[in-house]
């Protein structure tokens, strides 16, 4: 059974959804970016329904200023109070839970890595963690490098270049980024998130969509020891039946572990 729940966080009212189930391990899903709790293409809602059908209670919520929740959207780095309040609301609504696992994609994964311990999670599943501090309007260098390597292997790209169909100005900006280092102090988020993931030890699992720009940026910077599972997809949100099945299987494995 799915029911709607309201709870408070620093004077604001947050909206949440609980997919009820009898299991004692609960999954709390944190939405990434400004995404509402149903997720891209309703992916998180469908994932919750599927997990609940096999016995796992699942809680999803909109942080302050997003979706049906009131307040100001301060971004993922200011979302620790929201996370702590969501955990309390989940435990209140499902008091039979004895073990709590968090799942988040993109900057929601970073939120969980950074603040999950203080919120009371036992384990976290981190998909495509966000570590990018942009100083221009281009994708991260790792994503540009991978994209150019792919195009160089494709004869159609050479034909487009010869016919003048490729934007040379855009190409030049991308090549320039590959040789340019980030401004001083712009690498702090990557180090902070990486250190936070390592602090979880065996209680963190990282999932990467290997052709996604965010995942490429993370893989290029992270040198820690967390268990990393890779999906052969470019879909940041694990869209489509095949990606959804693979994501579901990894989450079930993490919940059981």
Tens-level pLDDT at each residue, the chain (257 residues):
999 999 999 999 999 999 999 999 999 999 999 999 999 999 999 999 999 999 999 999 999 999 999 999 999 999 999 999 999 999 999 999 999 999 999 999 999 999 999 999 999 999 999 999 864 444 555 444 545 455 555 566 555 656 666 665 655 554 454 455 555 445 699 999 999 999 999 999 999 999 999 999 999 999 999 999 999 999 999 999 999 999 999 999 999 98
- In the chain, residues under CATH classification 3.40.50.1820 are 2-133+188-256
pTM: 0.82
255: left (phi over 0), alpha (psi -120 to 50) or beta: alpha
Q: Are the CB atoms for 38 and 45 separated by under 8 Å?
A: yes
What is the homologous superfamily of the domain 2-133+188-256 according to CATH?
Alpha/Beta hydrolase fold, catalytic domain (3.40.50.1820)
- The residues facing 228 across adjacent strands are 206
Q: Cα separation of 9 and 120, whole Å?
A: 16
């Amino acid at each position: 059974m799915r029911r709607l729940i309201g709870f408070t966080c620093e004077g604001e009212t947050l909206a949440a959804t609980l997919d009820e189930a009898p299991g004692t391990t609960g999954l709390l899903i944190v939405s990434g970016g400004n995404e509402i709790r149903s997720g891209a293409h309703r992916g998180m809602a469908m994932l919750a329904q599927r997990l609940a059908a096999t016995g796992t209670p699942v809680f999803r919520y909109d942080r302050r200023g997003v979706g049906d929740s009131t307040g100001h959207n301060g971004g993922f780095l200011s979302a620790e109070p929201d996370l702590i309040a969501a955990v309390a609301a989940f435990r209140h609504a499902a008091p039979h839970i004895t073990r709590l696992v968090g799942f988040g994609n993109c900057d929601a994964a970073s939120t969980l890595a950074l603040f999950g311990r203080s919120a009371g999670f036992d384990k976290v599943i981190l998909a495509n963690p966000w570590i990018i501090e942009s100083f221009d309007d281009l994708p991260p260098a790792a994503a540009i490098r991978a994209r150019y390597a792919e195009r160089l292997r494709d004869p159609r790209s050479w034909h487009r270049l010869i016919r003048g169909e490729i934007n040379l100005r855009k190409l030049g900006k991308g090549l320039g980024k590959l040789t340019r280092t980030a401004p001083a102090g712009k690498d702090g988020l990557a180090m902070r998130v990486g250190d936070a993931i390592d602090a979880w030890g065996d209680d963190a699992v990282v999932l990467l969509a290997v052709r996604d720009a965010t995942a490429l940026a993370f893989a290029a910077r992270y040198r820690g020891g967390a268990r990393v599972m890779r999906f052969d997809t470019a879909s940041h949100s694990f869209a489509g039946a095949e990606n959804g099945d693979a994501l579901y299987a990894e989450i079930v494995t993490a919940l059981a572990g």
